[in-house]
Structure 1
Amino acid sequence: MTKAFDMELFLSAVLTGSHATRHRHLRQARFIQSEIAKRWQRSTPWAWQRKHLVWFLEHFLTGRSEATQYYYLLTVQLLARRLERPWVFKR
């Protein structure tokens, strides 16, 4: 039996800000994780490549408001920082 990936534990090292901000980042990171897992069967961020996050930003968020896209971009940047990857995402 495998244990579910704990996104809160994964991001705890880089999460800062108010309680509401941390909660939003966690909620969005879990959503990103579930969508990438559905599309590419990669359940943990350690298995992700830059293309997975770019796909999420470019294709999954199409039609969403600018504010929503911006907040997801912040979460993606936080994930990249936690993975210690030099990935740059433009919006």
Structure 2
Amino acid sequence: MFEFFSNPQSVLHLSSRVLGAGLALLVSGVYGAYLYDGHLPIVVLVSMHAMTIIGPTLLKIGYVMRLLAQHRLGKNLVGAVA
């Protein structure tokens, strides 16, 4: 597990997936909770509202992971050039 997170390239790929999942949850949550005009059961409606919270959270986590991975990749490249 630690080997996975010590490799910045694998963290960069994981961050892209987390960003995609967060965006999908946010868009589907907003559509289902606020834009859909049909009748939804209360469990589905609560889930859609929860997705509007979980989606941006995953976006933030994925973005921070991406920044850290790019920073570590940049350090490795600078060390290899010098």
Relative contact order (C-alpha < 8 Å, sep 6+): which is higher? 2
Higher helix content, 1 or 2: 2
TM bucket normalised to smaller: 0.3 to 0.5
- TM-score with structure 1 length normalisation? 0.30
The structure with the larger Rg is 2
